[in-house]
Amino acid sequence: MNDFMQILKALADETRFRIIDLLLAHDFCVGALAGHLNISKAAVSQHLQILRKAGLVRGEKRGYWTHYIVDKTVIHQIAEDLIERTNQVPDFRLGCHRSVSDEIKTNGMERPDFAMCKEYCQQPDRLKEKPEECTSEQIRECHGDEKGHPYMPKKEGK
């Protein structure tokens, strides 16, 4: 998990992502990357250091220069890990009432017995009588946000 997070953090920076993108097309030295990215060689070196520590790139000495190459197996492994995570079966014991209810409705499953999270109104009837008189604070306290008020009339055009 630690390596996974380190790689994602390294890729989260736009410049480092652009470096990876360039290196996927061709291997470059620091000077060439700096020219393509329009940043200093020192900045490129610092970004490459982070990418090297994450295991995403490696340097290969060619004469006086070091050319950098993406380790594509690491990129493929991260992609596989992300795909695997998206295919996990939901654990309803961990879910928020809203998301669990939606999942159950979609899959026709029985609702597990657990307490609702704080973000869901446990007393929707409390605000039922005159929703237009509810303050934003009351709605947020009960529902998490104004959009979550089950008795608010839908605004036209939305």
Is residue 40 assigned to a domain? yes
pLDDT of residue 148: 53
**Residue at 152 is within a domain:** no
Query: The domain that contains 52 carries what CATH number?
Result: 1.10.10.10
Q: 124 lies in a domain?
A: no
Pairing of strands 65-70, 57-62: antiparallel
The answer to whether residue 127 is domain-embedded is no
Segment (H or E) for 58: strand 57-62
Residue 71 lies in a domain: yes
Number of domains in the chain: 1
Per the CB < 8 A criterion, the answer to whether 97 and 148 are in contact is no
Quick one: average pLDDT of 56-82? 94
Residue 154 maps to a domain: no
- Residue 31 located in a structural domain: yes
Q: pLDDT tens, 92-126?
A: 666 555 544 444 555 555 545 444 454 445 555 65
Question: Is the model more confident about 101 or about 145?
Answer: 145
- Residue 37 maps to a domain: yes
Whether the model clears a pTM of 0.85, i.e. scores above it, the answer is: no
Average pLDDT over residues 70-83: 94
Helix 2-11 / helix 14-25 crossing angle, nearest 10 deg: 90
Structural domain range at position 27: 2-81
